[in-house]
Amino acid sequence: MFQQSIKQCGFVAYQSRTKTFLQPTTNTVEEPLDLIRLSLDERIYVKMRNDRELRGRLHAYDQHLNMILGDVEETVTTVEIDEETYEELYKSTKRNIPMLFVRGDGVVLVAPPLRVG
């Protein structure tokens, strides 16, 4: 409830272990992480190391690109080589995860949702 009333006033609350900080919310982009801030509570696409892709709703993030995503669809692509023809066979495996913590050092790319209008 506190978070919701703060958002309606045009501020975002950030909590450390001992203090709560308020920063005004704006739609301007002044640094790269502002693009991610504008995608809070939106569905995003995250490309990870080792041919792993995530699509989910961004709930939280930090400066290291650690993220908490909800309603996530994970796609893992593996490459196998046919021993007879030496062809590369691509296999995709998908799974749904209700809530996921993403460690930032594995993030390659974050794409905000496509805005039409």
pTM, full prediction: 0.72
Is there a domain that residue 9 lies in? Answer: yes
Is there a domain that residue 110 lies in? Answer: yes
Looking at the fold, whether 52 and 24 belong to one and the same domain comes out as no
Give 55-107 as a DSSP string: EEEEEEE-TT--EEEEEEEEEEEEEEE-TTT--EEEEEEEEEEEEEEE-GGGE
pLDDT in tens, 44-74: 999 999 999 999 999 999 999 999 999 999 9
Confidence of residue 6 (pLDDT cuts 50, 70, 90): very low
pLDDT at 64: 95
Query: Which residues constitute the domain of residue 17?
Result: 1-30
Residue pair 65/110 in contact by the 8 Å Cβ criterion: yes
Sequence-separated (6 or more) residues with CB below 8 Å from residue 112: 35, 36, 38, 39, 42, 44
Mean pLDDT of the chain: 83
pLDDT at 72: 98
